Amino acid sequence: MAVSTKSTLDAARLRADFPVFEELVNGRPVAFLDSAASSQKPRQVLDAMVDFYEHSYANVHRGVYRLAERATAGYEGGRTKVASFLGAPSEREVIFTRSATEALNLVAYAWGLDNLGPSDVVVVTDLEHHSSFVPWQYVAGRTGAAFRAIPIDGSGELDLSALEELGNAGTIKVVAANYVSNTLGTVNPVQQIAEWAHDRGAIMVVDAAQAAPHRPIDVQALGCDFLAVSAHKMCGPSGIGALWGRRELLEEMAPFNLGGEMIRSVSMERTTWNELPYKFEAGTPAIAEAVGFGAAVDYLSEIGLDAIEAHERELVEYALGALSELPWIDTYGPPPERREGIVSLNVQGVHPHDVAQVLDWEGVAVRAGHHCTQPLMSKLGVAATVRASFYLYSIPEEVDRLVAGLHKAKQSLG
Amino acid sequence: MSEFDQLYRELILDHYKNPRNHGLLEPADAQAEGQNPLCGDEITVSLRLGENDVVEEVGFDGRGCAISQAAMSMLGDLVKGKTAGEVATLPKEALLDELGIPLTPVRLKCAILGLGVLKLALHKARGTPLPEEWGTSSGGLVLD
């Protein structure tokens, strides 16, 4: 393949993989600019799941019959693919969860409750999604640990000069940061933060829900200790996510959910835990979803994460360029080269929900609200923003429709 | 888009840009405030009541999205002439019919904020019933 700094994916062609774009509203496909909330699904993923249900479905890890063996192979095959996608040293370190949120809760509860105490400090960031912010705030409260945040600067990037002062706040035990901000698209220097955390003996927990769909992930290169992803944001099904964790930490941790599958033996006197990863997978898991998750990472890998990132960056540059010519638009976040495919904005004097409503009338789907980042909204000094987010199937024409819709919102409401 | 929908949209925009019953009444017989924290909508309602607690005048002040402010603007004319008891039992559907456009659950809260504040004002001033769905927090209505 030729090495190129330009986008090497053909979004117009890839759209043919996504049945949803055959749906027309007022004669046109929806300009779907809400992939940061959840992505659309390609036929390759849908077919893999239907095929699995039609030919290989049974419960996993239990039956001695052939169908159960095929189901287990499908489920574990999904794990192998996800482990490889994340650069995990071993697939035993990849735990399937319901979501990235559940993965982050797993760490906060199963690691946090047993390892934090009153003289400890939990560090998050001003950019955190509530799924990373709230579990740590809660577990810090339960254990008496202090709860602090790395602040942002004016462009919505983490101000690492504040780390030194944070380091003096007590014994830092855990640093939790998202890799990419779901509201601003900011790409955070998690590798650098992980080094800082490790220098202080702390663990580093990365919420990669908004990064894994858009850029290559290698947990070993990042140097983190835990990393959470969500399938539905990366062309996979909803209802399944994954947690990667360092084996030695996972081995030491108490279980999170209790029940079937996660045990080795159960008696009235004593129950012992299963080996990794099953210790953390109580109950019947999302089986076909694991197959779909595997198909999704295959799909993304075939296109190439570098190409996906480059394509989205071109769209962000195009969108920010067009928006910068409109003095009645406020945009938030860093320059295109330091963000993924997300543009948060406001039309001056018009409530973001009204902007989203007008855009919906024009067949443009965006998110308006606080994007589960209320602490960030308060730092930005706004109640809410309008967020347009791009993916591998997004095309410049959709940006044009967004900009035309914003003009309409300004005309009718401004 | 149907002409019917278009008509409703224009009506809502007109109420948003030219709100009826805008401005708080002084003195007033009943007053309350409320907010919708998710959207940042805020509404304060004041009322003057006549014989038999019939709503004679409505005045409101607020800021927020077009749906919340337009719905409050429409609501004033809807409740004038009704008794406090009638307003207390006025179903939200009556207001949603006036608005006429389908609303997602998130926007529904914007639409009914004013009605909740109005019911709260009457509850505080005249002791009319206030069902749990219009629950209050620290004296003002908070929809969440």
Could you report the per-residue pLDDT of B22-40, keeping only the tens digit for each?
999 999 999 999 988 777 7
Residue B139: its pLDDT value, please? 55
Chosen from B15, B42, B65, B103 to mutate, greatest number of chain A CBs within 10 A: B65
Shortest distance between the Cα of A178 and any Cα of chain B, in A, equals: 23
Place of tokens 């907010």: B35
**CA-nearest residue of chain A to B6?**
A361
B94 touches chain A (CB under 8 A): no
CB pairs under 8 A between A and B: 33
Q: In chain B, which residues have their Cβ closer than 8 Å to the Cβ of A369? A: 38-39, 106
Residue A201 backbone class (left: φ over 0; alpha: ψ -120 to 50; beta: rest): left
Interatomic CA distance for residues B37 and B106, integer angstroms: 12
Chosen from A26, A130, A346, A353 to mutate, greatest number of chain B CBs within 10 A: A353
Give the DSSP letter of residue A274.
P
Give the alpha-carbon dihedral of A412, B1, B4, B10, to 10 degrees. Answer: 0
Residue A154: its pLDDT value, please? 92
What is the predicted ipTM? 0.74
Q: Chain A, 340-369: which have a CB under 8 Å from a chain B CB?
A: 351, 353-354, 357, 361, 369
Show the domains of chain A with their CATH numbers: 88-231+242-278 (3.40.640.10)
Interatomic CA distance for residues A409 and A361, integer angstroms: 10
Question: Does the pLDDT at position A152 exceed 50?
Answer: yes
CB contact under 8 A, A370 and B110: no
A28 touches chain B (CB under 8 A): no
Average pLDDT, integer, range A273-293: 96
| Out of A59-63, A86-90, A197-201, B6-10, least confident range | B6-10
Shortest distance between the Cα of B58 and any Cα of chain A, in A, equals: 25
Average pLDDT, integer, range B59-73: 93
CB contact under 8 A, B66 and A370: no
Average pLDDT, integer, range A121-143: 97
CB contact under 8 A, B39 and A383: yes
Q: Which of A317, A300, A292, A307 is nearest to A213 (CA)?
A: A300
Interatomic CA distance for residues A13 and A29, integer angstroms: 15
Cis status, amide bond into A277, omega within 30 of 0: yes
Say whether A372 is catalytic: yes
Residue B140: its pLDDT value, please? 67
Among candidate residues A45, A372, A376, A399, the one labeled active-site is A372
pTM assigned to the model: 0.89
Shortest distance between the Cα of A382 and any Cα of chain B, in A, equals: 9
Phi, psi dihedrals of residue A269, rounded to the nearest 5°: -85, -35
Q: In chain B, which residues have their Cβ closer than 8 Å to the Cβ of A26? A: 1
Q: In chain B, which residues have their Cβ closer than 8 Å to the Cβ of A37? A: none
Give the DSSP letter of residue A193.
H
Model confidence at A38, in pLDDT bands (50, 70, 90)?
Answer: very high
Q: Which of B55, B31, B52, B54 is nearest to B43 (CA)?
A: B31
Model confidence at B106, in pLDDT bands (50, 70, 90)?
Answer: confident
In this structure, is the dihedral angle defined by the CA atoms of residues A178, A180, A185 and A188, taken in order, positive or negative? positive
Interatomic CA distance for residues A47 and A230, integer angstroms: 20
Average pLDDT, integer, range A305-316: 97
Question: Does the pLDDT at position A270 exceed 60?
Answer: yes
Report which secondary-structure segment, H or E, holds B135: none
B106 touches chain A (CB under 8 A): yes
How much of chain A, in percent, has pLDDT values that exceed 70? Answer: 98
Place of tokens 């202080």: A200
**Identity of the residue in A26, A354, A370 whose CB atom sits nearest the CB atom of B65:** A354
Average pLDDT, integer, range A334-363: 94
B132 touches chain A (CB under 8 A): no
Chosen from A354, A362, A386 to mutate, greatest number of chain B CBs within 10 A: A354
Return all residues near A338 (Cβ < 8 A) that are at least 6 apart. A157, A186, A187
User: Which CATH topology does B3-142 take?
Assistant: Sufe protein. Chain: A (3.90.1010)
**Identity of the residue in A353, A361, A370 whose CB atom sits nearest the CB atom of B65:** A353
Model confidence at A1, in pLDDT bands (50, 70, 90)?
Answer: very low
CB-based burial label for A364 (10 Å; 0-12, 13-18, 19+):
buried
